[in-house]
Structure 1
Amino acid sequence: FHIPVMGIAYTIDTPVKVAHFGINSSISIIEDHLIEKMRAYYYKLNNEPFLPISKKEPNYRAKRITDYLNLISEEVKKKVEGVKTAAFSSTSEITKYFEMLPEVSELKQKYLKFLQLTDPSEKESLESELRNEVKPGAIEVNIMTKIDSDQIDDNKEVIENGSDALQALKGYAESNLEHSTLVFSAGMNPRLFNYLSSFKSFHPDNNGNFSKAIAIKVSDYRSALIQGKYLAKRGIWVSEFRIESG
């Protein structure tokens, strides 16, 4: 199951609420002011010291985004561990995890078999297998490519690679997220696409796997072809094309 990005704020922390149930969801990371407020909220929630990232710091937008994504990732990991260690009671989160799986899922069938077992040793063995099968949903991020205003320094000069979208990309690329996807929407941005090749995290490892994959939301085949070819020429693999709503 997947929850797409909804505006700037509606899914800003959705992974914390659903990822431990194996549900994928997307965060919009273009608005760093909101992200800074969310950083403050979660640090306070965890009784940890909050260190604001000042606008005077170089790359402050990217730093805010990186730290927030790392924070969300840690929150999800803690919740997943909570699910794995929960008792198989009628209202527990591990029970909800398996109950929400579709009936055709092999894992759901294994869970249903577990419920029918009466032999203690068999049930204990299968329970251990089920706990190990609990996996978090992916934390995806969205960048609206057209929101890409240049930023000006104190000398009234344009900051190199300091625009909104480029800083969002840098923040995501330098985060600890794994098995994640960056979703581009709202059309093509050559400057942003060119910047992708600066980061190793968007290139496959020796086994052809990506820690951070690229998906593009498109309205038609022509759009997919143009953007896909543009990125391919720069050595960037597009893992998925999604249909742009609206």
Structure 2
Amino acid sequence: MNSLSPHSFHIPVMGLAFTIDSPIKVACYGINSAISIIEDNLIEVMRKYYYQQNNEPYEPIEKTEENYRSRRITDYLNLVNRSVQTKFEKLRASAFETGSEIVKYFELLPEESLLKQQYYRFTNSSNTEEKQELEQFLRSNLRPGAIEVNIMTKVDKNNLDAKGEIIPDGSDALGALKAYAESDLENSAVIFSAGLNPRLYNYLENFREFDATGWGVFKKRVIIKVSDY
């Protein structure tokens, strides 16, 4: 990839549990990955786990609370984003020495990456001033991998309120899309898979988060798996 962008890797969706926290493990190395966000019960379990791991106070979102599904998902995505940023900043600040996190980052880049070529210049240089300039350049051009989400479009049962009535726009897929749209993720995408769901696609119109912020620039994008479509 003839670019300074490190986002040369992508981990595909491989199931609910396998990818539920993939970004926390790999995004700091510039690797994109996707989380399936349909199963809110699993997400609530992971919310509790990572709040405890991060030494942050955990407050459960109970099923008796309004909009509990979308709130669980949104909060988990924000939690994952914070965790990734924390790990990434630690990596960015680490020393250029054998086995360090920042060295792993550059070793994972493809050989054709311009950023990796600059890294080779840095490691091979014997000029102190040049090395300092290259080190500053390398650290400033590091980017974490994107945190993306997957919604299986046909997993879209309607959900009922306490009175047994269907919650408007509260189905599984629509609730997951709302949760993603309201999260603080940027440089991200939602992947629609497992078939055609017209009401889900129409529901996108409700969220300005998918609008372009510039020519060809989006904070949140939409990816449709062509084979499923």
TM-score bin, normalised by smaller chain: over 0.9
**CA-CA distance at 1:102 after TM superposition:** 1.1
Could you list the runs of 5+ residues in structure 2 that have no partner in the other structure? 1-8
Give yes or no for contact 1:187–1:218 (8 Å, CA) kept in 2.
no
- What aligned pairs does 1:169-184 form with structure 2 within 5 A after superposition? 169-184=177-192
Q: Identity over aligned residues, as a percent?
A: 59
Q: Does 1:131 align with 2:144?
A: no
For 1:175, give the aligned amino acid.
Answer: S
Q: Which residue of 2 aligns with 1:37?
A: 45
Counterpart in the other structure of 1:162: 170
1:236 alignment partner in structure 2: none
Distance 2:214 2:139 in 1: 30
Offset from partner CA, 1:126-162 (integer Å, 9 cap, x none):
1010011110011010000010000111212111011
Cross-structure match for 1:145: 153
Per the alignment, residue 242 of structure 1 pairs with none
1:17-73 residue CA offsets vs partner (Å, 9 max, x unmatched) = 000100000000000000000000001111111000111111110000000000000
* Structure 1 counterpart SS, 2:218: coil
- CA–CA distance in 1 between the matches of 2:216 and 2:99? 40
Q: Which residue of 1 aligns with 2:128?
A: 120
CA RMSD of aligned residues (A): 1.0
Name the count of aligned residue pairs. 221
Q: C-alpha offsets along residues 93-143 of structure 1, whole Å, 9 cap, x if unaligned? A: 100111111111111110001011111111111101001111001101000
TM-score norm. by structure 1 comes to 0.88
Aligned match for 2:93, one of 75, 85, 89 = 85
C-alpha distance in 2 between matches for 1:209 and 1:99: 29
Could you list the runs of 5+ residues in structure 1 that have no partner in the other structure? 224-246
In structure 2, distance between residues paired with 1:109 and 1:208: 28
For 1:48, the equivalent position in structure 2 comes to 56
